[in-house]
């Protein structure tokens, strides 16, 4: 059976190209041997379930423990313990009956569902008492639990953990989900509900995460495909894929699958070229598969907006790792820390964040035919930025108050509306590069059209110093791109100055470069 790149569910070594998941998260076996209860959290589709299945198989084959994988994904969301705990009980029973080694034992023989607050504690205690080896349980999708179900689930595990020297109980428990366990408190409907001094969230001794692939690991994965098919992926191709994905496992597999299966129709005699990568990335961004859509749905959450919006604006808020909202967004995999700044986890997510947040404006502009298609702005093969941005200034003057009110991200609305305006043009054949990062006090853009680069910097006006800072920052950005002409767009959100003062166009020469300052 030929292997494939997997983008749906856990990987299996006989079906998929894959890398040992435990190499990206070491120390798990040590904690199991130490009888610890611990947590692993990582972003969506990064290999968590694959790791759990690997670990369960390894433990069962070694023979020192019985390892039981159990997903609680089927527990209804926002349920109380009277409904949710019996579902977990039935799932555990099903997993035991399906287990190659444990099926010889009867799970929770004689335990009746009369008290959900003790059901798991009693069932697991009796089951462990009947076993001839310690039991390890790997609970997957713990994020699905909330309210009374979550509290009771954790409390019963904690009760068993504390008293297991007197009463048989689970040797080691691993809780797995997208978020750190301390963030699960947000899943309790009434935040005022007391958890008592013995909080159920205190059961976890350690927390781990599952890192992305390194460049070498990406190359290793693709080498497996080359060994099976003979199809070549050059180092340039692999470097480009790593740049766009930053090693996010689903994206790494999705790009390869798009190229091999969809673009090249499984013709392994054709080499994979850098332009194939560019097209595959564009397709993933436009297609918005479930992986990306489910992640972008989080952008509507207020706690996510609080962290993401400053990144779009280039503002620095100096978040602490103890800030639950900040840690939550990092855990989701939307953003990451790099060189003292907060940036999108990879360029693909960064692009989709902007497109998602500006999509309503893009649709409205499309319906109104604003702006016209790109050829309307081409003069002697160059894009007439003067005409294009002057028309945007007029559009902004006439529509800004109405359009900004439509946005959840009110502070970033000017940036998002301009990018929707730009997107309408570049969708006809150009490309936009965006550099989103907190602490930069601006958003760097570069429009690429017919082989020419047009660097743009966006800023919000915070005083006269904004213009001087902006010019210096844009000049440095132009140096980086090797461009001699750039555009600094400054949005003045003050209500008092008239539009005649806000809307202007000034051109200056700075350090041998032409900079156009565009007031909005």
Give domain limits for the chain.
Answer: 21-209, 215-287, 360-519
The 10 Å CB-count burial string (b at 16+, else e) for 196-233 is: eeeebbebbeeebbbebbeeebbbebbeebeeeeebeb
Q: Which two tokens stand for residue 27?
A: 């120390």
Other C-beta atoms within 10 Å of 122: how many? 19
| pLDDT digit string, tens, across residues 86-99 | 999 999 999 999 99
User: What pLDDT does residue 366 have?
Assistant: 84
User: What pLDDT does residue 200 have?
Assistant: 58
Domain 21-209 maps to which CATH number in 3.40.50.300, 3.20.20.140, 3.40.50.2020, 3.40.1160.10?
3.40.50.300
pLDDT higher for 509 or 207?
509
User: What pLDDT does residue 518 have?
Assistant: 98
Distance separating alpha carbons of residues 478 and 380, to the nearest angstrom: 23
Mean pLDDT along residues 11-30:
93
Cβ atoms of 251 and 333 within 8 Å: the answer is: no
At 185, is the pLDDT very low, low, confident or very high (cuts 50, 70, 90)? low
With 0-12 CB in 10 A as exposed, 13-18 as middle and 19+ as buried, what is 2?
A: exposed
Cβ atoms of 225 and 5 within 8 Å: the answer is: yes
Share of the chain above pLDDT 90, in %: 71
| pLDDT digit string, tens, across residues 131-175 | 999 999 999 999 889 888 999 999 999 999 999 999 999 999 999
Mean pLDDT along residues 18-27:
92
Distance separating alpha carbons of residues 183 and 188, to the nearest angstrom: 10
| pLDDT digit string, tens, across residues 412-463 | 999 999 999 998 777 777 889 999 998 888 889 999 998 999 999 999 999 9
Long-range Cβ contacts of 294-297 (<8 Å, 24+ apart): 294/44, 295/43, 295/44, 295/332, 295/333, 295/334, 295/349, 296/352, 296/353, 296/356
At 192, is the pLDDT very low, low, confident or very high (cuts 50, 70, 90)? very low
User: What pLDDT does residue 497 have?
Assistant: 85
User: What pLDDT does residue 427 have?
Assistant: 74
User: What pLDDT does residue 361 have?
Assistant: 87
| pLDDT digit string, tens, across residues 274-318 | 999 999 999 999 988 889 999 999 999 999 999 999 999 998 777
User: What pLDDT does residue 188 have?
Assistant: 61
Reply yes or no: is the peptide bond before residue 300 cis, omega within 30 of 0: no
Distance separating alpha carbons of residues 208 and 221, to the nearest angstrom: 23
């Amino acid at each position: 059976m030929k292997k494939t790149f997997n983008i749906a569910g856990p990987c299996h070594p006989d079906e998929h190209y894959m890398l040992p998941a435990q190499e990206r998260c070491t120390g798990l076996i040590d904690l199991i041997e130490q009888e610890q209860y611990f947590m692993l959290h990582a972003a969506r589709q990064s290999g968590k379930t694959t790791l759990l299945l690997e670990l369960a198989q390894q433990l069962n084959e070694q023979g020192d423990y019985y390892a039981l994988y159990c997903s609680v994904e089927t527990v209804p969301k926002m349920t109380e313990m009277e409904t949710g705990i019996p579902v977990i009980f039935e799932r555990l029973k099903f997993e035991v009956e399906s287990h190659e080694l444990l099926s010889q034992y009867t799970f929770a023989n004689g335990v009746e569902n009369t008290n959900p607050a003790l059901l798991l504690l009693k069932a697991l205690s009796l089951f462990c008492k009947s076993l001839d080896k310690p039991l390890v349980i790997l609970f997957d999708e713990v994020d699905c639990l909330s309210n009374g179900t979550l509290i009771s689930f954790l409390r019963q595990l904690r009760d068993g953990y504390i008293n297991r020297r007197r009463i048989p109980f689970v040797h080691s428990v691993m809780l797995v989900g997208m978020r750190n366990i301390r963030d699960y408190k947000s899943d309790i409907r009434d935040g005022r509900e007391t958890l008592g001094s013995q909080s159920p969230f205190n059961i976890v001794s350690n927390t781990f995460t599952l890192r992305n692939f390194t460049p070498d690991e990406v190359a290793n994965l693709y080498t497996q495909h080359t060994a099976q098919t003979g199809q070549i992926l050059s180092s340039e191709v692999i470097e480009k894929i790593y740049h766009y994905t930053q090693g996010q496992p689903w994206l790494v597999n999705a790009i390869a699958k798009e190229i091999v299966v969809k673009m090249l129709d499984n013709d392994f005699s054709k080499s994979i070229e850098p332009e194939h990568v560019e097209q595959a990335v564009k397709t993933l961004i436009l297609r918005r598969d479930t992986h990306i859509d489910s992640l972008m749905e989080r952008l509507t959450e207020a706690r996510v907006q609080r962290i993401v919006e400053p990144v779009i604006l280039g503002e620095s808020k100096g978040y602490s790792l103890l800030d639950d909202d900040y840690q939550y967004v990092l855990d989701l995999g939307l953003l990451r820390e790099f060189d003292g700044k907060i940036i999108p986890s990879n360029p693909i997510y960064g692009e989709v964040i902007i497109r998602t947040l500006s999509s309503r404006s893009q649709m409205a502009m499309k319906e109104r035919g604003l702006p016209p298609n790109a050829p309307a702005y081409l003069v002697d093969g160059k894009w007439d930025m003067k005409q294009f941005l002057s028309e945007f200034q007029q559009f902004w003057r006439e529509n800004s108050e109405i359009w900004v009110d439509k946005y959840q991200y009110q502070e970033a609305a000017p940036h998002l509306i301009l990018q929707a305006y730009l997107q309408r043009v570049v969708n006809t054949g150009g490309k936009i590069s965006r550099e989103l990062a907190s602490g930069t006090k601006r958003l760097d853009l570069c429009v690429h059209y017919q082989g020419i680069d047009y660097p743009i910097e966006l800023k919000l006006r915070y005083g006269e110093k904004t213009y001087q800072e902006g010019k210096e920052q844009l000049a440095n950005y132009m140096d980086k791109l090797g461009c001699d002409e750039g555009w600094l767009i400054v949005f003045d959100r003050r209500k008092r100055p008239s539009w005649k003062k806000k809307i202007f166009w000034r051109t200056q020469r700075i350090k041998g470069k032409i900079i156009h300052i565009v007031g909005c």
